[in-house]
Amino acid sequence: MSFPEAESSPRPSAATPPSRLRRPGDTPARDGARAAVTIAYRGILGNSPGMLFLTGYRSSMNGAKALALEAYCRASGRAFTRFDYQGHGETGGDFESCTLSTWIGDALAVVDEITTGPLILAGSSMGAWIMVRVAQLRPERVAGLIGIAAAPDFTETLMWDAFDTPTRMAILGGKPWRSPSPDGDSEIVVSRELIEDGRKHLVLRARLAIGVPVRLLHGSADQSVPAKLSQALLNQLDCPDASLTVIKDGGHRLSRPHELGQIVRAADELCRHTEDSLTRAASPPR
């Protein structure tokens, strides 16, 4: 049984605290009110199209892929934003009370309140699933998608489908399944709420009308999320400009220098494509 693996991240410097976005919470308190939550984020100002990085399950915005894309955007003068979902990284909070809807809501809040203009979304593992949902819910803001070791529908395909009957019955009875993460830095927790909420957001069971270029990258040696999930996502895309690159011997994290280079090249391709499209749209007809 394998699940999306968290990416170990360097601890951020205490001298550079993240910015904070305050948004309404998803879970009502005892009095029925929804307590506000704050989302930790970091970003740089720059030109359009900007980029937004969406992290994986139990990962943080300080991982190697996010930092490599930020360095690319800084060097090329582009806007860039990265953030931590509720229950993750510098945002903190109760991880076990969160679901896919929570994390999609966090991503939408960042898109709506922090970023401007057309965006290239880069999603890693679970972040690629959230990336697709954001593209469906905010199509007017999204100019391109980069899925890195994509794990769409993982709560169903990698979790629920892999459990035996006694484990499923325990989860349905309110006893979450728990296991140390592969790196030992965190715990995988599968609750009934996580599974049932995930079913509201499944994307591999119908055609996906995504009208922007999509680039998927996956390691051939990924032991956490099989490359067939990226292939399944590619197959469901109703998009004329979509491709999947399988990186030989690449693991789930895809954070070795040459792998980061391929991710940055995909970002540069989509950014330049969007720039060209914006220039053509702004040019008067001849």
Q: Is 273 a catalytic residue?
A: no
Fill in the DSSP letter of residue 208: B
Side-chain-side CA neighbours of 131 within 13 Å: the count stands at 33
Catalytic site residue from 26, 106, 222, 224: 222
Distance (Å, whole) CA 246 – CA 100: 27
Contacts of 285 (CB under 8 A, 6+ apart): none
Contacts of 258 (CB under 8 A, 6+ apart): none
């170990």: which residue's tokens? Answer: 8
Q: Is 161 a catalytic residue?
A: no
Distance (Å, whole) CA 93 – CA 247: 35
Q: Which two tokens stand for residue 136?
A: 């469906």
Contacts of 223 (CB under 8 A, 6+ apart): 2, 251, 252
Asked if the peptide bond before residue 180 counts as cis, ω within 30 degrees of 0, the response is: no
Which H helix or E strand runs over 200? none
Contacts of 257 (CB under 8 A, 6+ apart): none
Q: Give 3-state DSSP helix, strand, coil % of the chain, rounded to 5.
A: 40, 25, 40
Catalytic site residue from 59, 60, 125, 224: 125
Q: Is 101 a catalytic residue?
A: no
Maximum CA pair distance of the chain?
A: 69
Side-chain-side CA neighbours of 9 within 13 Å: the count stands at 24
Residue 140: C-alpha distances to residues 36, 120, 136 (Å): 27, 12, 9
Active site amino acids: 125, 222, 252
